[in-house]
Amino acid sequence: MSAIASAHAAPLVAPRVVALVGVSDGAGKLSGRPFQFCRQHGFTGQIYIVNPRRDTVLGETAYPSVVAIPVPVDHAYLLVGTGLVEAALDDCIAAGVKVVTVLADGFAEAGAEGRARQARLVAKANAAGIMLIGPNSMGVVNSGTGFVCTTNAAFKTNGLLPGRLAVLSHSGSLIGTLLSRGTVRNIGFSHFVSLGNEAQTCVGTVGLTLVDNPDIDGFVLFLETMRNSTAFARFAAAARRLGKPVVAYVLGKSREGQALSVSHTGALTGEAAAVGAFLRHHHIAEVSQLDALFEAPALLLQKPRLADRPRVATVLTTTGGGGAMLVDQLSLRGVALTGLGPDSAEFFRQNDIPFGSGKLVDVTLAGAQYDVMKAAITQLITDATTGLLVVAIGSSAQFNPELAVKPIIDAVAENPGAAPVAAFPLPHAPESMAMLQAAGIPAFGGVESAADTIALFLADDMGPDDMGYEEPERMAPDVAQKIAALIAAHSSGAVLDEVDAGEIFTGLGIAAPPAVWVADKGLKADDLDRVLDAAGVAYPVVAKLISPDLPHKTEYGAVTLNIMTGDALETAIATMRTHVARLAPHAQIDGVLIQPMVTGLGEALVGFRRDNLVGPVVTVGAGGVMAEIYRDVAIRPAPVSVQTARQMLDEVKGFALLRGYRGRPVGDLDALARLVALVSQLAAFYAIAEAEINPVLVQADGVVRLDALIRLGDENGALHG
């Protein structure tokens, strides 16, 4: 954690002196809320109101400026209109304020003028060493100290629960939604930060500032975009090191949602799949149900209890239909379920506890007895074959919490080293939920959020710091130098054709079949035969016109397959030239590339690009049209190790055809994984914006690169790492 982050931690969430700048007088005004909420929730720090046009506001002395406040100010919340923000920031700078939060909109989300305004704000804050939150921020809240410095009306609540989860949200209104919905589940939050436009700070930097706060056990993120993936990754790594789970809900899974993210906070939004892969890579638990956002952390905090246990769930229930519903939802999410292991089955039999058949352990009404339920739970959590035990409780959760949840709580308390336990009361059962939570047992209010969270909890970790994870290979310096030189020969923004891009891939270690390059237009059949013979290329061959203007050659009739003779080759070249002259008359033709026809068991396409939000990513999909029609593509932040590339291939359904499907021959997926890992190394060359090999031919023994395409980034560097 950086010294700067550390220095701002206290003034951000635990200031002693706060300035509220631009508070209007009169009840019900938005700008008056932070003052009223701080008072209502017992903030013990000093609050100064700044309003140059009044002597008193809301019954308090109003100061003409921040500079005029007689003591040093830790945190100022600027509640003034857009046009007054810069002057107010100047005032804060002059007063030596540490953290400034800005409410106003009209910045990066508001056209060129707004962007310029925002840039000036950031420059000023940076120069002064000020941490800036917003603009467009609904404020910062510390439930523990009563620093409820927000304009969000939800904090009018009298029941601000204590909690140990910090909320970082791009949306200011959502912090109110989370507060309200968490409260009804008896889940409180320690802090809320409304990040707004993230002009200077972002979820990553604010997260880093708070990550070692001892009042915080975990983080809850409501994300509309990703502005600084490097800072985000550092925050995620720090949280993981400290054993603090981070759970995220990402807005913009649909195109419409992405468009709204844009209009909403001025963020560019990229492909949802890239963001998802980035979050998984950094061990962030992405949930798809809103409730899981605050319900998941309690279970994820139990991860150490899972340790060497199998990644499986056992569902124990007193209520068949409800338990079956949970099993169904878990299975749909790919969770492996076990019934009773042999030891436990023997125990249940000896003790006459019913357990049904199959994968749901249904103790039926016998579970309404404390002793029976406690014995069953104790047996299951001390059985080494148990991963996570989930107890689905029936109506007794509603009317007999003592009967329904007491045996769970006692069994867990008496077996500290045992398997983790989660509970799902089928009915609405606030009293049982509260008892469970007080005992540190994660409980869920809905079957969907329970299933979402349990799936995340049991998922294998795939990030960089797990046991057995191979670091991506380091490129040999001479290889790197050679590739850098090849790239340097082209101007920025250039699209490199198969020959030029091919040189770079060959340099990386991804060779193509032998090829003959024919620039001369006049070659006849005999000449062509001689040239091929000299190069050791035998018929049948494939011929392609090479042009920087035709990245998708097939669509222009610029590829001919399976040419058997020199005569046919001569004809094919002439025909292709005719096609292109008609379909793309301005395309520059550099020559003809002739290669032996090679055949394989299947095709793949491998791509690399710099995502606007999360940076370099590598993708691999089934070849042909399947990747596109079925979106059958795996994606990861680049670079990846061969091991990770192999996991990617496992995710691509279409590669079933290369895994011995219905007796077909098996393709060399290990070679394909090595190729994917090599392509992912392009991440090291910031000039490369995008690259693709389409297709890669997968053979029984090895893979063959049949094409190559690379696009360099624009000069403005927008696409650089």
- Measured from the CB atom, the residue of 258 and 379 that comes closer to its own copies is 258
Torsion of CA 604, 674, 512, 550, to 10 degrees: 50
Q: Write out the binding residues for its own copies, residues 663-692 only, by CB under 8 A.
A: 663
Residue 203's SS3 state is: helix
Given 4, 119, 123, 184, the residue binding its own copies (CB under 8 A): 184
Tokens of 334: 């790919």
- Cis bond upstream, residue 342 (ω within 30): no
Dump the DSSP string for 395-462.
THHHH-HHHHTHHHHHHHHH-TTS--EEEEESS--HHHHHHHHHTT--B-SSHHHHHHHHHHHHSPP-
Provide the 8-state DSSP code for 164.
S
**Residue 469 contacts its own copies per CB under 8 A:** no
DSSP strand pairing (709-712 vs 191-194): unpaired
Q: Write out the binding residues for its own copies, residues 22-51 only, by CB under 8 A.
A: 30
Q: Write out the binding residues for its own copies, residues 255-284 only, by CB under 8 A.
A: 255-257, 259-261, 263-264
Of 245-253, 612-620, 634-642, 666-674, which part binds its own copies (CB under 8 A)? 245-253
In whole angstroms, how far apart are CA 381 and each of 124, 420, 421, 451, 635? 57, 7, 8, 19, 37
State in angstroms the smallest separation of the CB of 329 from its own copies. 8
Provide the 8-state DSSP code for 22.
T
Mask for 128-167, x = binds its own copies (CB under 8 A): ------------------------xxx-xx----------
Of 320-328, 476-484, 528-536, 672-680, which part binds its own copies (CB under 8 A)? 320-328
Q: Write out the binding residues for its own copies, residues 424-443 only, by CB under 8 A.
A: 426-429
Q: Write out the binding residues for its own copies, residues 327-386 only, by CB under 8 A.
A: 327-332, 337, 356-360, 365
Nearest CA-CA partner of 588 in 637, 549, 636? 549
Between CA 692 and CA 699, with CA 696 as vertex, the angle to 5 degrees is 165
Q: Write out the binding residues for its own copies, residues 474-513 only, by CB under 8 A.
A: none
451 neighbors 330 (Cβ within 8 angstroms): yes
- Measured from the CB atom, the residue of 275 and 504 that comes closer to its own copies is 275
- Measured from the CB atom, the residue of 256 and 471 that comes closer to its own copies is 256
Nearest CA-CA partner of 698 in 668, 656, 662, 678? 668
Please say whether the dihedral angle defined by the alpha carbons of residues 334, 335, 337 and 343, taken in this order, is positive or negative.
Answer: positive
State in angstroms the smallest separation of the CB of 623 from its own copies. 13
Count of residues that bind its own copies according to CB under 8 A: 81
State in angstroms the smallest separation of the CB of 177 from its own copies. 4
In whole angstroms, give the CA distance from residue 72 to residue 74.
Answer: 7
Q: Write out the binding residues for its own copies, residues 212-241 only, by CB under 8 A.
A: 222, 224
**Residue 398 contacts its own copies per CB under 8 A:** yes
Given 23, 626, 634, 691, the residue binding its own copies (CB under 8 A): 626
State in angstroms the smallest separation of the CB of 303 from its own copies. 24
State in angstroms the smallest separation of the CB of 362 from its own copies. 8
Q: Crossing angle, helix 3-13 and helix 203-210, to 10 degrees?
A: 80
- Measured from the CB atom, the residue of 93 and 626 that comes closer to its own copies is 626
Of 463-471, 533-541, 559-567, 624-632, which part binds its own copies (CB under 8 A)? 624-632
Given 51, 186, 302, 319, the residue binding its own copies (CB under 8 A): 319
Of 93-101, 247-255, 477-485, 519-527, which part binds its own copies (CB under 8 A)? 247-255
**Residue 629 contacts its own copies per CB under 8 A:** yes
Provide the 8-state DSSP code for 713.
P
